[in-house]
Structure 1
Amino acid sequence: MKVLRRMGLALLVLVGAAALFVRYATPDTAPSEVVFLGGDIVTMGDPSVVEAMWIKDGRIEQLGSESAVREAAGSDAEIVSLDGATLMPGFIEPHTHPLATALLGSAIDVGGFTHDSRAQMMETLHEALGGFLPQPWIIAFGWDPIMIRNLAPPTLEELDELSPDKPLVILTQAMHEAFANSAALREAGITRDTPDPPGAAFGRDEHGELTGSVLEVNAVNYLLRALPALPPALTELMLRWTLADYARGGFTTIGVLGPVGRAEDPIGLLRGLGDDPHAPVRSVVYGLPSQLDLDEKPDTNHDTRFELRGVKFWMDGSPYTGGAAFAEPYADTELTREELHLKPGHMGPLNYELGAFIEELGRFHRAGYHVAVHTQGERAIERVLDAAEAVLKTDPWEDHRHRLEHNALITTEQIQRAKALGFELSFFTDHIYYYGDRLRELVGDRAERYMPVGTAFRAGHRATLHSDNPMTPIGPLRVMR
Structure 2
Amino acid sequence: MSAPIKVYRARKIITMSRNRPTATHVALRDGRVLGVGEPEELARWGELEIDERFADKVLMPGFVEGHAHAMEGAVWRDLYVGYFVRRSPDGEMEGGLKSLDAVVERLRRYAETLPEDKPVVAWGFDPLYFDGRRMDRHDLDKVSTTRPVLVLHASFHILNVNSRVIEMAGMGPSTNVEGVMKDPAGEPNGELQEMAAMFAATRAAKVDFDLRTLDGPSLYRYAGSATIAGVTTATDLHNKLDDEMVDLFAEVTAKEDFPLRLVPALGALSWSPDDGIAQAKAIRERSTDKLRLGLVKVMTDGSIQGFTGRLKWPGYHNGAPNGIWNIAPSELKRTIGLYHDAGLHMHIHTNGDQASEFVIDCLEEALTTRPRRDHRHTLQHCQMADAAQFRRMAALGVCANLFANHVFYWGDQHYALTMGPDRARRMDATATALACGVPLAIHSDAPVTPLAPLFTAWCAVNRRTSSGRLLGPEERLTPEQALFAITLGAAYTLKLDHLVGSIEVGKFADFAVLDDDPLAVAPDMLKDVGVWGTVLGGIPFESPARAAS
Instruction: Give the TM-score band, short-chain normalised.
Output: 0.7 to 0.9
Unaligned runs of 5+ in 2: 85-95, 459-549
The 2-side partners of 1:238 and 1:254 are apart by 14
Q: CA deviation at 1:118?
A: 2.1
Mapped to 2, the partners of 1:401 and 1:218 lie a distance apart of 30
Contact 2:195 2:326 survives alignment (8 Å)? no
Decide which moves more: 150-159 or 364-373: 150-159
> Given that residues 100 and 127 in structure 2 are in contact (C-alpha distance below 8 angstroms), is that contact kept between their aligned partners in structure 1?
no
CA distance in 2, matches of 1:264, 1:138: 30
Provide Cα deviations, 1:409-432, integer angstroms capped at 9, x if missing partner.
112111111111221111001110
Change (3 A) 1:188 1:55: farther
What are the equivalent positions in structure 2 for 1:36-51 lying under 5 Å apart?
36-45=8-17, 46-51=19-24
- Matched with 1:319 is 304
Normalised by the size of structure 1, how large is the TM-score?
0.83
**Which residues in structure 2 correspond to 1:35-114 (within 5 Å)?**
35-45=7-17, 46-70=19-43, 72-74=45-47, 77=49, 79-98=51-70, 100-113=71-84, 114=96
Q: Is the 8 A contact 2:214 2:248 kept in 1?
A: no
The match for 2:448 is: 471
Counterpart position of 1:23 = none
Equivalent positions of 1:21-420 (< 5 A) are 33-45=5-17, 46-70=19-43, 72-74=45-47, 77=49, 79-98=51-70, 100-113=71-84, 114-133=96-115, 136-146=118-128, 148-150=129-131, 152-196=133-177, 200-226=178-204, 227-228=206-207, 235-259=215-239, 265-289=244-268, 290=270, 293-296=276-279, 297=281, 299=284, 304-333=289-318, 344=319, 346-420=321-395
Secondary structure at the residue paired with 2:52?
strand
User: Which residue of 417, 424, 432 corresponds with 2:407?
Assistant: 432
Residue range with higher mean Cα deviation, 63-72 or 449-458: 63-72
**Equivalent residue of 1:437, what SS?**
helix
Match of 1:423 among 383, 398, 416: 398
Alpha-carbon distance in 2 for matches of 1:328, 1:354: 18
Cα distance in 2 for partners of 1:364, 1:135 equals 43
Q: Structure 2 vs 1, CA of residues 229 and 172 (structure 1 numbering), >3 Å: closer, same or farther? A: closer
CA distance in 2, matches of 1:394, 1:350: 25
Partner Cα distance (1:267, 1:224) in 2:
23
Q: Which has the higher contact order (CA 8 A, sep 6+)?
A: 2
- Deviation at residue 149 of structure 1 after TM alignment: 2.9
TM-score by length of 2: 0.73
Letter aligned with residue 419 of structure 1:
A
Measured in 2, the distance between the counterparts of 1:209 and 1:183 equals: 14
Question: Structure 1 stretches of 5 or more lacking a match?
Answer: 1-30, 334-343
For the residue of structure 2 that corresponds to 1:62, the secondary structure is strand
| Pair 203,51 (structure 1): closer, same or farther in 2 beyond 3 Å | same
Opposite residue 283 of structure 1, the aligned amino acid is L
- Please, which moves more after superposition, 271-280 or 355-364? 271-280
SS in 2 for 1:307: coil
- CA shift for structure 1 position 160: 2.2
Taking a change above 3 Å as real, the CA distance of residues 356 and 173 of structure 1, as seen in their structure-2 partners, is: same
Amino acid in the other structure paired with 1:246: A
Match of 1:459 in 2: 436
Identical-residue share of aligned pairs (%): 26
Q: Following the alignment from structure 1 to structure 2, what is the Cα–Cα distance between the partners of residues 447 and 233?
A: 34
Structure 1 residues 95, 205: closer, same or farther in 2, change over 3 A?
A: same
Q: What is the deviation of 1:462?
A: 1.6
In the alignment, residue 418 of structure 1 is paired with which amino acid?
Answer: M
- Change beyond 3 A, Cα 1:51–1:157: closer
Q: CA deviation at 1:406?
A: 0.7
Shift in CA distance, 229/143, structure 1 to aligned 2, threshold 3 Å = closer
The code of the aligned residue for 2:419 comes to: V
How many angstroms apart in 1 are the aligned matches of 2:228 and 2:285? 28
Given that residues 329 and 347 in structure 1 are in contact (C-alpha distance below 8 angstroms), is that contact kept between their aligned partners in structure 2? no
**Residue identity in the other structure for 2:24:** E
Q: Is the 8 A contact 1:358 1:391 kept in 2?
A: no
Q: Given that residues 257 and 286 in structure 1 are in contact (C-alpha distance below 8 angstroms), is that contact kept between their aligned partners in structure 2?
A: yes
Tell me: CA distance 1:354–1:160, structure 2 relative to 1, closer, same or farther (3 Å). closer
Shift of 1:134: 6.4
Instruction: Report the CA distance shift for 1:315/1:232 in structure 2 as closer, same or farther (over 3 A).
Output: closer
Residues 77-103 of structure 1, C-alpha deviations (whole Å, 9 max, x = no match): 4623323211111010000111x2222
Residue by residue over 1:453-480, the C-alpha shift from the partner in whole angstroms, topping out at 9 and shown as x without a partner, is 1000001112100000001111111101
2:165 partner SS: helix
CA separation of 1:293 and 1:233: change in aligned 2, threshold 3 A: closer
